[in-house]
A and B are shown apart, each in its own frame.
Chain A
Amino acid sequence: GAGVSQSPSNKVTEKGKDVELRCDPISGHTALYWYRQRLGQGLEFLIYFQGNSAPDKSGLPSDRFSAERTGESVSTLTIQRTQQEDSAVYLCASSLTSGRYNEQFFGPGTRLTVL
């Protein structure tokens, strides 16, 4: 079946521009997560959505980062006024519920390069 998809797969932008990254979770998955992975490092949690509850934004590094989710479907991560330190792979994951037993399914990521 279809897994988590993300677009674009690669994005090159200039410093100061805004970018929007898209995630399509697995159908029926109520929980959705965004992570960031810098080169050679582990994943950093950014934000998580669970159903219609208010999102947990505790991992967002600055107010330039925001995310939205339409119901239990598509999510977009927006980075405003991009900086070079924003260069990373942005990974989206979804799971059936946010309970601790449920594995997360990851998308292939969007590689963002800020020049």
Chain B
Amino acid sequence: DAKTTQPPSMDCAEGRAANLPCNHSTISGNEYVYWYRQIHSQGPQYIIHGLKNNETNEMASLIITEDRKSSTLILPHATLRDTAVYYCIVRATNNAGNMLTFGGGTRLMVKP
């Protein structure tokens, strides 16, 4: 699987948009970008995934650059409950087991 690079930590004011970047410059054409988050003392939670088009769901939006070498997860109106570690993961199509390879993630702190 392609390696991802994320900033180790970020702060965001409550009610503002949180923009979490991820670099995946070695991504190949058939690899998807997944985002999970892990709130303290809980298991990871799926947020969103995409291939090349921007995606939006009830939790977040995912913006993938045209060259697919980077992406941004956007939480449009961050709340205190969004404080968590956010993981950007790239999965290969021959990753038959669907296991996820987690890096260090970004620790997002939402402040009042």
What is A's interface to B at a CB cutoff of 8 Å? 4, 31, 33, 35, 41-43, 45, 48, 50, 56, 59, 91, 93, 95, 98-109
Whether A106 lies near B103 (C-beta < 8 A) is no
What is B's interface to A at a CB cutoff of 8 Å? 32, 41-46, 49, 87, 91, 93, 95-105
Residue among B41, B45, B49, B100 with the highest chain A CB neighbour number at 10 A: B100
Chain A proximity of B106: nearest CB distance (Å): 12
Contacts known (A42-B104, A42-B105); A103 close to B99, Cβ less than 8 A: no
Contacts known (A48-B97, A50-B97, A100-B91); A42 close to B103, Cβ less than 8 A: yes
Whether B97 lies near A106 (C-beta < 8 A) is no
> At the interface, is chain B mostly helix, strand, loop or mixed?
loop
Shortest beta-carbon contacts, A-B, top 4: A106-B43, A42-B102, A103-B46, A43-B102
Whether B93 lies near A100 (C-beta < 8 A) is yes
Residue among A48, A105, A106 with the highest chain B CB neighbour number at 10 A: A106
| Beyond A91-B44, A100-B32, 12 additional pairs, beta carbon < 8 A | A35-B99, A42-B104, A42-B105, A43-B100, A45-B101, A48-B97, A91-B43, A95-B98, A99-B98, A100-B93, A100-B95, A104-B46
Contacts known (A4-B43, A100-B91, A104-B46); A45 close to B100, Cβ less than 8 A: yes
- Partner of A98 from B32, B43, B45, B96 at Cβ < 8 Å: B96
